[in-house]
Amino acid sequence: MGKRTLLSFSPQIKVVDATLRDGGLVNSFYFEDEFVKKLYQTNIQAGVDYMEFGYKASSAIFDKSKFGKWKFCEEKDLREIVGNNDSDLKIAVMADVGRTDIDKDIIPKNESVIDMVRVASYINTIPSAIEMVENCAKKGYETTVNIMAISHANESDLHEALELIGNSSANGVYLVDSYGSLYPEQIRKLADRYLDMGAKYNKFVGIHAHNNQQLAFANTIECVVSGVNYLDATVSSLGRGAGNCPLELLIGFLKNPKYKLHPILKFIEEEILKLKKSGVVWGYDIPYLITGVLDRHPSGAIDCIKNNRTDYANIYLELMGLE
Amino acid sequence: MGKRTLLSFSPQIKVVDATLRDGGLVNSFYFEDEFVKKLYQTNIQAGVDYMEFGYKASSAIFDKSKFGKWKFCEEKDLREIVGNNDSDLKIAVMADVGRTDIDKDIIPKNESVIDMVRVASYINTIPSAIEMVENCAKKGYETTVNIMAISHANESDLHEALELIGNSSANGVYLVDSYGSLYPEQIRKLADRYLDMGAKYNKFVGIHAHNNQQLAFANTIECVVSGVNYLDATVSSLGRGAGNCPLELLIGFLKNPKYKLHPILKFIEEEILKLKKSGVVWGYDIPYLITGVLDRHPSGAIDCIKNNRTDYANIYLELMGLE
């Protein structure tokens, strides 16, 4: 595929709003129904292509009393928000390898408002991810494999994983920069490897970026230029740790006139400011820069933020393992 | 020049800390001496190459009682902080076309601790900028021309401006994304034009980015890959409106072992948090996204932030000129 230019737009591009799913990692999925309903309407008005509502987590593994309903995404809860979803917005959920009871919790597509199941996996569990994909594909769903923590994968493992996915029923594969450690130059190189596989096996490629180094938006649009078509974003970056590619920046960038910025700005002023005021904390901050630079899981930074630590120089030494 | 890779580093790269100069636009240059002294020491420890202290504004034009001293950067005030500057850190100041009394306020280099005078100009005043450059070069200073608001310049004007600068005594020329509206793809194309001129006339090229779309860091490091050598940044983005490329992200990225992140993190925890607490407001926010997307001067957004407006959807319509 030829490189895209700024004045072109491609109808193959799909914007995936992951606000509830990645944001749910910040507030244990306790979103008010009002928030979720408004976000659903906002996404429809803004021309967003997919809305990911949360996880399909197994209630045998996770205690339902300790999480909001969007960790489980039961059919009745989805329908409470979207009815039969008479809209162009497709509904996605995420299923983690090892944390989902796929036989019990994923019903046949013709009984569900869900359109797409995204299977999240580390690179060493790709065979299990593919088993889940085949199960969901057989039930009638669109599917993806989202390979997490890609900055820690070695090249030969990645090659093998992409070949396995290429030969599976998955519709697409996602490049996931879980640690927000990758620079645009690295993202371009990785995207090219994914895109080569995608061209060979007719799979789309997606990008899911984190904002530890204020690069989530930049890395996402660099992927667009390369030919990546599925773009994850969240309103105001709402997501774990430093958060994600801000949906409002992505929609402002995309040239397809079907995308509208105004409804998203309205949602931010009406709902996101309220959420922030209520004490939910996320987004770029110095501890996330540190784990990003060091290419580490953000958990250490999340602990620092929770404990209101601002001794950044010490945090840096600690996370480097020098103290 | 060949493209750089992530594992290489180039000793030609120079990091320019513009915290006081661009940050002074936020607080009218009222920095405590303690802040300035600590920043100077921090830059030395961090391996920063230049520190821009402020403007050389004319006291005939600007009322000295209405600004802090770093709008004027008098020799005695500089020496109060740096003594004779017995360090590897070079001292820079900015001189605006039409706002500087170059004959009166720029003394001969051998009487000054200043090393570099950066002349800021819109594209239509380049001939005046070059006159100032020649004046300063004759006095013994390193000089640059910083072409502001480049997103509004047309291609033939830019060509002519670059040729004039190429034939001048300026040591370098700066690409300045004043409105924070440029995407990496555009920055790369512009940088290539600057670099072609630089190769022809032996001038270095610099980048000064703004963070309206969270792209200041990304655009800066994209320029590094292209061969741009002078990189402006400010601690914690401190600068007008959405601020600049964060120095801490840039230093975390650069591979030259002379650059150290630890002293900058220390400065942030000791001084930047205090400055924020004191009520100084800067950095990425939705109104800046809006002027960035619309490729407008940030003044409209700055007004909104000052007035604590959060009716983002209306601000968007207003700034588009629809209301």
In this prediction, residues A227-245 reach a mean pLDDT of 98
In this prediction, residues A205-223 reach a mean pLDDT of 98
In this prediction, residues A233-247 reach a mean pLDDT of 98
Q: Nearest CA to CA, how far is B313 from chain A (Å)?
A: 5
Say which amino acid occupies A46: A
Tens of pLDDT, residues A155-181: 999 999 999 999 999 999 999 999 999
Q: What is the mean pLDDT of chain A?
A: 96
Residue A219's pLDDT band, with cuts at 50, 70 and 90, is: very high
Q: Which of B323, B319, B322 lies closest to B296 in space, CA to CA? A: B319
Sole residue written with tokens 């209520």: A278
Residue B1's pLDDT band, with cuts at 50, 70 and 90, is: very low
Could A221 and B261 be called an inter-chain contact, meaning their C-beta atoms sit closer than 8 Å? no
Sole residue written with tokens 């080569």: A196
Predicted complex ipTM: 0.95
Q: What is the mean pLDDT of chain B?
A: 96
Could B217 and A213 be called an inter-chain contact, meaning their C-beta atoms sit closer than 8 Å? yes
- pTM of the prediction? 0.96
Tens of pLDDT, residues A83-108: 999 999 999 999 999 999 999 999 99
Q: Tell whether the model's pLDDT for residue B7 goes beyond 80.
A: no
Which 3 state secondary structure label does DSSP give A280?
Answer: coil
Q: Which of A215, A261, A262 sits opposite B217 (nearest CB)?
A: A215
Q: Tell whether the model's pLDDT for residue A322 goes beyond 70.
A: no
Q: Which of B265, B311, B315 sits opposite A312 (nearest CB)?
A: B265
Q: Which residues in A lie closer than 8 A to residue B41 (C-beta atoms)?
A: none
What are A43's two structure tokens?
Answer: 């996404």
- Taking the C-alpha atoms of residue A225 and residue A202, their distance in angstroms, rounded to an integer, is 19
Q: Nearest CA to CA, how far is A213 from chain B (Å)?
A: 7
In which element (H, E) is residue B138 found?
helix B126-138
User: Which of B220, B224, B264, B269 is the best residue to mutate to test the A interface, defined by the most A CB atoms within 10 Å of its own CB?
Assistant: B269
Which 3 state secondary structure label does DSSP give B146?
Answer: strand
What are B314's two structure tokens?
Answer: 């209306």
What confidence score (pLDDT) does residue A62 get?
96
Q: Which of A183, A269, A286 sits opposite B310 (nearest CB)?
A: A269
In this prediction, residues A289-304 reach a mean pLDDT of 96
Q: Tell whether the model's pLDDT for residue B6 goes beyond 70.
A: no
In this prediction, residues B140-154 reach a mean pLDDT of 96
In this prediction, residues A275-281 reach a mean pLDDT of 97
Q: Tell whether the model's pLDDT for residue A74 goes beyond 80.
A: yes
The conformation of residue B236, written as its DSSP 8-state character, comes to G
Lowest mean pLDDT, pick from A257-261, B2-6, B35-39, B107-111: B2-6
- Taking the C-alpha atoms of residue B177 and residue B209, their distance in angstroms, rounded to an integer, is 5
Q: Tell whether the model's pLDDT for residue A3 goes beyond 70.
A: no
A17 contact partners, CB below 8 Å, separation of at least 6: A39, A43, A48, A50, A51, A52, A233, A234, A235, A247
What confidence score (pLDDT) does residue A323 get?
54
